[in-house]
Amino acid sequence: MMAKDNGTASAGKKKPINEMTLIFPALSRNESFARVVAASFISQLDPSIEELADVRTAVSEAVTNAIIHGYEDKAGNIKMICLLYDDSVEITVIDEGKGIENIELARQPLYTSKPDMERSGMGFTVMETFMDEVKVESEVGKGTKVTMLKYFKSLKDKERRAKNDK
Amino acid sequence: MMAKDNGTASAGKKKPINEMTLIFPALSRNESFARVVAASFISQLDPSIEELADVRTAVSEAVTNAIIHGYEDKAGNIKMICLLYDDSVEITVIDEGKGIENIELARQPLYTSKPDMERSGMGFTVMETFMDEVKVESEVGKGTKVTMLKYFKSLKDKERRAKNDK
Amino acid sequence: MQVKFSNKGNILIVRLIGELDHHASDYVRRKIDGEMIKPTTKNIIFDLSNLSFMDSSGIGIIMGRYRAISRINGQIAVACSNAQILKLLEMSGISKVIQIFSDADKAVKSMLGVTKK
Amino acid sequence: MQVKFSNKGNILIVRLIGELDHHASDYVRRKIDGEMIKPTTKNIIFDLSNLSFMDSSGIGIIMGRYRAISRINGQIAVACSNAQILKLLEMSGISKVIQIFSDADKAVKSMLGVTKK
Ligand SMILES: Nc1ncnc2c1ncn2[C@@H]1O[C@H](COP(=O)(O)OP(=O)(O)O)[C@@H](O)[C@H]1O
Ligand SMILES: Nc1ncnc2c1ncn2[C@@H]1O[C@H](COP(=O)(O)OP(=O)(O)O)[C@@H](O)[C@H]1O
């Protein structure tokens, strides 16, 4: 389905230790639901509060974009896929909405096609700041797929501390 | 896929106000994840604490059954579908595991095919007690589909109280 | 899931903390059975006061220990005040064969009274 | 999501409680704009101390009010101590044009000091 390719999100060829797929309609009240599901899924790794908040925020941005830009408040389904690795999570948010014409422009800080809705144009920038890698694939008239990777550095720190304690 | 039919769960022809589908591998640590997802999804209706606990318990039983009886701890995917109505929720848990030969026997209180695992044989009875309707469909070698309906009576009570207050 | 033990005479008090489902049940069973084989254990009190969730896997665990303890003529009691878990104990029939108390202290007192007779 | 208002002179203090995302933003915007058109409002303090979550929709709301208030030569300040939300205010550039305080009292004191000059 997808054409253009920006960024390089990928957790490599490792097998995930757990995964989930969530499908839900593009309703704004599902933004908080998607956040809860993603946060609850990654908590099995016991990441730091900050890492949890980072993922919640990035998921919120990607799902909100699918609702207001992808489907423009029309009906449609959003798919969120989480692949959990022992040190990271890859979260993909997919819509089959209108798609993005110019991905590079869309990713610019402050760029928004909906200033009338008081969008800040910071959605992609937030995802990039709060996650470690963000890949955007999109085709006009087909839809958009945003893939985000987050490393849980806190787990490494914990491991290191546990080792030093011995 | 399904053949036999027990019980009569169905929320009628009404259109759900929201819905979700969750797909996850048959790992026991996803039992609590499935509970969180179902509880978080239905909380948008603001049910009572007891109703929330009822649904969490029933979901736990259905998902556990899919893992230990359906897939017998082998790999496989479980699908949970929640259809939310303004006064109720219909939750379906589907596995593509070994299936149930005799549904009537399986639903008997205390019947279990795994007494060695210290299963109590009370799973289906719990679902029936805690939910308002439970339908079980299954085909040997194909899988099992458990559909559970829960009415949120507390919402009606709230409405009534709100009216009386006026 | 956490399992904590304490002893009052020959009573083993098993305090369960967290959510007791099938996933947790293997660990819980292993921990309890490790304590049960000690010769000091004759009776068991399950303190469920700190469980925030339990499903029929918990019923299986309690019934399993009930059978083992009955064989050595011991007693089992449960302390629980969570409405949802009480409902589960009720419908499973456990409350017909095992005494249920609102807290662990009451269970200990009653059991010491009975076993001392 | 809850929005609570209080006034200190010509300062409108907007206390946001809950999670501020796109879903909540329509309601929040309507509530705030209803208070902003009152002639008593010249300056605004956004008190985010009771927000447990905010994403870029919150940035949009604050920037929108900032533009409106700037037009009448008013001031805007934000009170916030949540690390995640501070990170968001920082990266969005809001902290370059709007002063951020650790709590609402400090924001009020500073703003009264400035506006009284
Ligand atoms: N899922 C999507 N479908 C279609 N267009 C999108 C999607 N996500 C983002 N866009 C486009 O990219 C632009 C920038 O997005 P973003 O940085 O999140 O800012 P904002 O949401 O505030 O507009 C949007 O204004 C929109 O035009
Ligand atoms: N998803 C399933 N797939 C195959 N068999 C099942 C499934 N769910 C239930 N069963 C069968 O029904 C029996 C009774 O189930 P239940 O009442 O939940 O008790 P328990 O799980 O304690 O055995 C099980 O022992 C099993 O044989």
Ligand 1 centroid to A69 CA: how many Å?
6
Q: Report the complex ipTM.
A: 0.92
The ligand with the least distance to the CA atom of B101 is 2
Give the pLDDT of residue A4.
45
Residue B131 has pLDDT above 50, yes or no: yes
Phi-psi region of C3 (alpha: psi -120 to 50; beta: other; left: phi over 0): beta
* B9, two tokens: 């769960």
Sign, CA dihedral B9-B12-B15-B17, equals negative
Mean pLDDT per 10-residue run, chain C (117 residues)?
95 97 97 92 96 97 95 95 96 94 96 70
Looking at chain D, the whole-number percentage of residues with pLDDT higher than 70 is 97
Q: How many CB atoms lie within 10 A of CB A10?
A: 11
pLDDT greater than 50 at residue A5: no
DSSP state, residue C42: -
Q: Assess if residue A7 is contained within a domain.
A: no
Contact partners for chain B, using 3 or more CB pairs closer than 8 A, are A, C
Burial D11-48 (b: 16+ CB within 10 A, else e): bbbbbbebbbbbbbbeebbebbeeebeeeebbbbbbbb
**Three-state secondary structure call for residue D65:** helix
Q: Considering CB atoms only, which of D22, D60, D84 is closest to A57?
A: D84
Q: Does A41 touch chain B (CB under 8 A)?
A: yes
Task: Classify C2-106 by CATH class.
Answer: alpha beta
Alpha-carbon radius of gyration of chain D: 13
A64 touches D at CB < 8 Å: yes
**How many whole angstroms from A72 Cα to the centroid of ligand 1?**
11
User: Cα–Cα distance between D50 and B80 in angstroms, integer?
Assistant: 34
What pLDDT is attached to residue D115? Answer: 54
Rounded Cα–Cα distance for residues A145 and A139 (Å) = 9
Residue in B6, B56, B119, B128 annotated catalytic: B119
CATH at residue B76: 3.30.565.10
Give B81→chain C minimum CA distance, Å: 21
Q: Are D79 and D106 in contact (CB under 8 A)?
A: yes
Query: What separation in angstroms does the CA of A140 have from each of A81, C39, C99, D53, D99?
Result: 22, 73, 67, 32, 41
Q: Which residues line ligand 1 (CB under 6 A)?
A: A 61, 65-66, 69-70, 95, 97-100, 106, 111-114, 119-124, 144; D 56
B141, part of any domain: yes
Which helix H or strand E contains B40, and what residues bound it? Answer: helix B30-42
* Predicted confidence band of residue B2 (pLDDT cuts 50, 70, 90): very low
Taking one residue from A and the other from B, the number of pairs with CB-CB distance under 8 angstroms is 53
Hey, where are the domains in chain C? 2-106
Sheet holding D2-8, edge to edge: D2-8, D11-20, D43-54, D76-79, D99-101
> What percent of chain B lies above the pLDDT cut of 90?
81
- Hey, is the C-beta of A8 within 8 angstroms of any chain B C-beta? no
User: Does A4 reside within a domain?
Assistant: no
- How far the first Cα of chain D sits from its last, in Å, is 36
Asked if B31 contacts B63 with a C-beta cutoff of 8 angstroms, the reply is yes
Which chain B residues are Cβ-neighbours of A35 within 8 angstroms? none
Split into its structural domains, chain B has a count of 1
Mean pLDDT of chain D: 94
Would B5 be classed as within a structural domain? Answer: no
Q: How far is the CA of A113 from the centre of ligand 1 (A)?
A: 7
Residues of A in contact with D68 (CB under 8 A): none
**Contact, D24 vs D55, CB < 8 A?**
no
Interface residue of A60, A78, A112, A114 to substitute, partner D, most D CBs within 10 Å = A60
Query: Is the CB–ligand 2 distance for residue B145 below 6 Å?
Result: no
Q: Distance between CA B86 and CA D41 in Å, rounded?
A: 40
pLDDT at A166: 54
Q: Would you call B65 a catalytic residue per the annotation? A: yes
Is the Cβ pair C19, B61 closer than 8 Å? Answer: no
- Compute, in angstroms, the gap from residue A106 CA to the centroid of ligand 1: 6
Partner residues linked to B80 by β-bridges:
B22, B93
Per cent of chain B over pLDDT 70 is: 90
Q: Which domain holds residue A92?
A: 16-165
Shortest Cα–Cα distance, A43 to chain B (Å): 10
Using CA coordinates, name the residue in chain C closest to B59. C55
Task: pLDDT band for A43, please (50, 70, 90 cuts).
Answer: very high
Contact B20 A22 (CB under 8 A): yes
* Chain B and chain D touch, per 3+ beta carbon pairs within 8 A: no
Measured between CA atoms, the residue of chain A closest to residue D92 is A122
Contact B27 A18 (CB under 8 A): yes
Residue A24 contacts B where some CB pair is shorter than 8 Å: yes
Task: Give D83-110 pLDDT, tens digit per residue.
Answer: 999 999 999 999 999 999 999 999 999 9
Q: Which of A11, C108, C56, A40 is nearest to B68 (CA)?
A: C56
For residue C64, the ligand closest to its alpha carbon is: 2
How many angstroms separate the CA atoms of C12 and C76, rounded?
10
Per-residue pLDDT, D59: 96
Q: Which of D67, D55, D62, D91 is nearest to D79 (CA)?
A: D62
Determine the Cα angle at D2 with ends D1 and D5, to 5°: 150
H/E run at residue D48: strand D43-54
Confirm or reject contact between B37 and chain A (CB < 8 A): yes
Which of these, B61, B119, B123, lies nearest to B93 by C-alpha position?
B61
The string of pLDDT tens digits covering residues A76-123 is 999 999 999 999 999 999 999 999 999 999 999 999 999 888 999 999
Instruction: Show the CA angle centred on residue C106, arms to residues C102 and C112, nearest 5°.
Output: 145
Find all residues with CB under 8 Å of D70, minimum gap 6, and list them. Answer: D76
Instruction: Decide if A148 contacts A160 (C-beta within 8 A).
Output: no
Distance CA A24, CA A30 (A): 8
pLDDT in tens, B9-62: 454 568 999 999 999 999 999 999 999 999 999 999 999 999 999 999 999 999
Rounded to the nearest whole angstrom, what is the distance from the C-alpha of residue A131 to the centroid of ligand 1?
Answer: 17
